[in-house]
Amino acid sequence: MTRFPLIAALVAAPVLAACDPQDMADKITRRTAGEVVEPVVAREMPAAPAKAATECILQAASIEEIRALARDVGVEAGSQTKENIRNLALRPAATACFAASGVPPLTAVP
């Protein structure tokens, strides 16, 4: 009978760890930044590659850069945001991800 609380604690620990508030906030911010980046990238390529390119761009960004991108949600991305997206897309990590995902490199961000 004493094993049940121990087993319950062992099972609950990973579940509770997955509920880290900062981790949840970062995931929401990343998703929000994706809503800003994808329409900008979609102006240059079809929807499926644009979605993959967006993921590559977000993977190349720091959390601070992702937060900055997320600030433009709900409005059309301005010239500074477009420039930030372009700079992120040109990073070696993003270009390697593009190649691995079969996404053509971004040549310009409209």
Tokens matching residue 90:
């040109």
Residue 87 identity (one-letter amino acid): N
29, 41 contact by CB (below 8 A): no
What is the model's pLDDT at position 87?
A: 94
Give the list of residues 6+ apart from residue 73 with CB closer than 8 angstroms, or none.
32, 33, 35, 36
pLDDT along the chain (110 residues), means of 10: 48 57 88 94 92 97 95 86 94 95 75
What is the model's pLDDT at position 73?
A: 86
What is the model's pLDDT at position 70?
A: 94
The reported pTM is 0.77
Domain boundaries, the chain: 22-101
